Amino acid sequence: MSKKLIVNRRSVLKYGGAASVALATPYFFTRGALAQSNDYRNAPTGDTVTFGFNVPQTGAYADEGADELRAYELAVEHINAGGGGMLDTFSSKALTGGVNGKKVAFVTGDTQTKSDAARASAKRMIENDGAVVITGGSSSGVAIAVQGLCQEAGVIFMAGLTHSNDTTGKDKRANGFRHFFNTEMSGAALAPILEKNYGRDRKVYHLTADYTWGWSQEGSMQKYTEPFGWETVAAVRTPVGAGDFSQYITPILNSGADTLVLNHYGKDMVNSLTQAVQFGLRDKQVNGKDFVIVVPLYSRLMVQGAGDAAKGIFGSTNWHWSLQDDASKAFVKSFGEKYGFPPSQAAHTCYCQAILYADACQRAETFRPSAVGAALEGFEFDGLGNGPVLYRAEDHQCFKDVLVVKGKENPSSPFDLLEVVEVTPRAQVEYPVDLLGGELGPYNDGAA
């Protein structure tokens, strides 16, 4: 290294640094000053208000994330227009074009389905882009991580697809709200159907994804099926993303079990279900009964990946596009006309969350998290495709009907993969607040 180079670099640094300081100082201080003059985080000042959509754009759930984003764009369109889609069937009529007199703009982020990346992109939207709400996501780990962040930062978090009990149980936060259902409700809705179709007294083998959601799902299934004599032979934990599950499937053949419950989601579910069916489990007779497989949480996008293997297999889902109520039909119509295919359950829950948030802001006449939260707490509504729904005040969880579905035997189109077996009424899946523990704590408005 010669001396001249260093001198050069130094002068570049010096002048460059000085110039940028001179240029940027005003912005920097104005922004700090603005943030202090408002008494809640990211209070919108112009004629727009910014929503932050935090969805997986890369990784295993990228397609689900893309569908969520489509739903959000549609929701923003409808909110700004004051009508269209499910906004027309929604029981609250507060929204009449924009929210609190402002047009909705949005920014997007990539969660990568990793807690760190999701928090980083949420922080970017809060700190840099001025988002008043973060919403979206496709896994419980991410939802809980981002919910914690939003609590600290002082913005509202409207969870996307997250099914673990913990999101509104052990890890609930005042600033977080969930529309999607959870493993507790899945178990409660699924168990009676399983009893009716497969009878009492079965020997059950659980294959469970080895992380919190998997355990939670396994526990709920055991809790609701054991009372009518479904006895757990073994509950085997499988590593997430194992790819080939054959070494976990072979022991089932000799275990004496006649029922297999796959507590897997996403790619794990696609692979384990495909492989279990390949092993001829469904052609077997054990204990004088046909061997059956159950997948407690279904997603149509993932069933697509499992192909024929999913036919006739029971599971539960939050919503399905083939529902025939007016709201669902209106949503499918507006979504289908814009994008050319029906929405997934992830798209539905995200659309609802966006509408519900905007509506609560309008009713509260502010974007202040504590006021918006109060407007959502105990809110009863209808016309969003799930029948009458309650946003329970004590744990910020929506209570609504749960769909029990089955892989369709003769699909008429690539989207027609699930058929709704039963709509389990809300009363049957409700549970007491203290069942899942946790504490909401106080709201955080993010006042500096």
Cβ proximity to another protein: between 296 and 342 the closer is: 342
Nearest distance from C-beta of residue 62 to another protein, angstroms = 4
Nearest distance from C-beta of residue 227 to another protein, angstroms = 25
Nearest distance from C-beta of residue 295 to another protein, angstroms = 15
Cβ proximity to another protein: between 204 and 429 the closer is: 204
Distance, in Å, from the CA atom of 93 to the CA atom of 82, rounded to the nearest integer, reads: 9
Q: What are phi and psi of 31, to 5 degrees?
A: -65, -45
Nearest alpha carbon to residue 192 among 382, 413, 427: 427
Nearest distance from C-beta of residue 343 to another protein, angstroms = 10
Cβ proximity to another protein: between 45 and 197 the closer is: 45
Cβ proximity to another protein: between 198 and 279 the closer is: 279
Nearest distance from C-beta of residue 33 to another protein, angstroms = 14
Cβ proximity to another protein: between 170 and 408 the closer is: 170
Cβ proximity to another protein: between 425 and 438 the closer is: 438
Cβ proximity to another protein: between 205 and 391 the closer is: 205
Nearest distance from C-beta of residue 281 to another protein, angstroms = 8
Nearest distance from C-beta of residue 218 to another protein, angstroms = 13
Cβ proximity to another protein: between 180 and 224 the closer is: 180
Nearest distance from C-beta of residue 314 to another protein, angstroms = 20
Nearest distance from C-beta of residue 378 to another protein, angstroms = 22
Q: What is the 3-state secondary structure (H, E, C) of the chain?
A: CCHHHHHHHHHHHHHHHHHHHHHHHHHHHHHHHHHHHCCCCCCCCCCEEEEEEEECCCCCCHHHHHHHHHHHHHHHHHHHHCCCHHHCCCCCCCCCCCECCEEEEEEEEECCCCHHHHHHHHHHHHHCCCCCEEEECCCHHHHHHHHHHHHHHCCEEEECCCCCHHHHCCCCCCCEEECCCCHHHHHHHHHHHHHHHHCCCEEEEEEEECCHHHHHHHHHHHHHHHHHCEEEEEEEEECCCCCCCHHHHHHHHCCCCCEEEEECCHHHHHHHHHHHHHCCHHHCEECCEECEEEEEECCHHHHHHHHHHHECCEEEECCCCCCCCHHHHHHHHHHHHHHCCCCCHHHHHHHHHHHHHHHHHHHHCCCCHHHHHHHHCCCEECCCCCCCEEECCCCCEEECCEEEEEECCCCCCCCCCEEEEEEECHHHHCCCHHHCCCCCCCCCCCCC
Cβ proximity to another protein: between 144 and 398 the closer is: 144
Distance, in Å, from the CA atom of 239 to the CA atom of 229, rounded to the nearest integer, reads: 29
